[in-house]
Copies of this chain bind each other. A is one copy, B any other.
Amino acid sequence: MATIQEVAKKAGVSAATVSRVLNNRNSVKEKTRMRVDQAIRELNYEPSVLGRNLRNSESRLLLVLIPSISNPFYTEIINGIEDTAIGKGYNILLCETDSNPKREAIYFNMVRNRLADGIILMDPTVNRKNLHDLACKHPIIQCSEFDENGTISYVTIDNELAAYQAVKHLIKIGKKKVALINSDEKFLYARERRSGYEKAMKEFGLPIESKWIRSVEQLGFESGQQAMRSLLNEADMPNAVFAVSDVLAIGALKEINSIGLKVPEDIAIIGFDKISFSNMTHPTLTTIAQPMYKMGCISATMIIDKIRGNDVESLILDHELIIREST
């Protein structure tokens, strides 16, 4: 790998001039620029991000922190982030934190060390103090999850309202015994969706029974299956299920199918996220669509704005109830 010095020598100019050519600076004579460009091409030169960053504190790299890449919910968001970021000259690096604070710390330090310019955080399990310390000095925004009392800008949807509407829909089609399969309440969305569930139940004068509420730790199909199995074992079985993620709903659906009950006649089911699988099940899954791609685009725009020193406002986007065969 050639250095800027070698290019300078080959072009018969100083490193400073090469640098100016590289950065399209104002004052370089056309003739000189040509010579430098020529030398750059001949040596196949690429500026070292390392040297540049050390001086400039700019890497044009964004970190995207997600708890796990296995969750299809994140895929569309990431597509949105990438398309937008690349359009603005930034590249993104995906970091899987596994909700492990140590790994999170490593990625946070990449920003402190100027290896990356900013972070889009989708993981809720951060140590709040670390997060806040980082946010004071470095650009960071949150996507989907956010810190309720924090000062960090975010983009998300109204989870409580969405859950409320989902459950209301179940009640409207005549189901009064609505179960909830929730994920770990360390997630803000889980707490909000539970609250939406409760709001809808209360509004229609239905009891909130803890025997119809399950909380899972993992977000895999199996967790949905297990939760559903446990719900089906209740003497007083629910006749509808609101699962806070399509993955869980699909697991639940599988379990219901496998013991021979009909969906939606015996048990109706509604998921959340509108992942692509949710249209492949039998019956297809009613779900709440989040504008995931758009959330990604907005996240990217926000973080780049922040990197450029602008103030950015938090945003709450619209969701949509997608009614399909399972209700």
Report which A residues bind B (CB closer than 8 A).
1, 46, 48-51, 53-54, 69-70, 72, 74-75, 78-79, 82, 86, 91-96, 98, 103, 106-107, 109-110, 112-115, 137, 220-222, 250-251, 254, 257, 276-277, 279-282
Contacts and interface: CB of A to CB of B under 8 A. Distances in A.
A276 B115 contact: no
13 contacts: A1-B113, A50-B113, A51-B54, A69-B74, A69-B75, A86-B103, A91-B106, A93-B93, A93-B95, A94-B94, A221-B279, A222-B276, A277-B277
B103 A91 contact: yes
Top 9 A-B pairs ranked by shortest CB distance? Answer: A94-B94, A93-B93, A70-B75, A49-B113, A48-B113, A254-B280, A50-B54, A1-B112, A221-B280
A50 B53 contact: yes
B277 A257 contact: no
A92 B95 CA distance: 7
A261 to B, nearest CB: 13
A271 B147 CA distance: 42
A50 B276 contact: no
Nearest to A220: B276
A69 B188 CA distance: 25
A235 B48 CA distance: 60
A14 to B, nearest CB: 20
Contacts of A281: 280-281
Contact of A46 (B48, B72, B94, B109): B109
A109 B95 CA distance: 19
Given A50-B114, A82-B98, A94-B96, 20 more contacts: A46-B109, A49-B115, A50-B53, A50-B115, A69-B74, A69-B94, A70-B72, A70-B276, A72-B72, A91-B103, A93-B93, A93-B95, A94-B95, A115-B115, A220-B276, A222-B276, A250-B280, A257-B282, A280-B281, A281-B281
A106 B85 CA distance: 14
A93 B91 CA distance: 12
Contacts of A282: 254, 257, 282
A93 B95 CA distance: 6
B106 A78 contact: no
A295 to B, nearest CB: 16
Nearest to A93: B93
Contacts of A279: 221
A225 to B, nearest CB: 8
Nearest to A102: B86
Contacts of A103: 86, 91
A94 B95 CA distance: 6
Nearest to A72: B70
Nearest to A1: B112
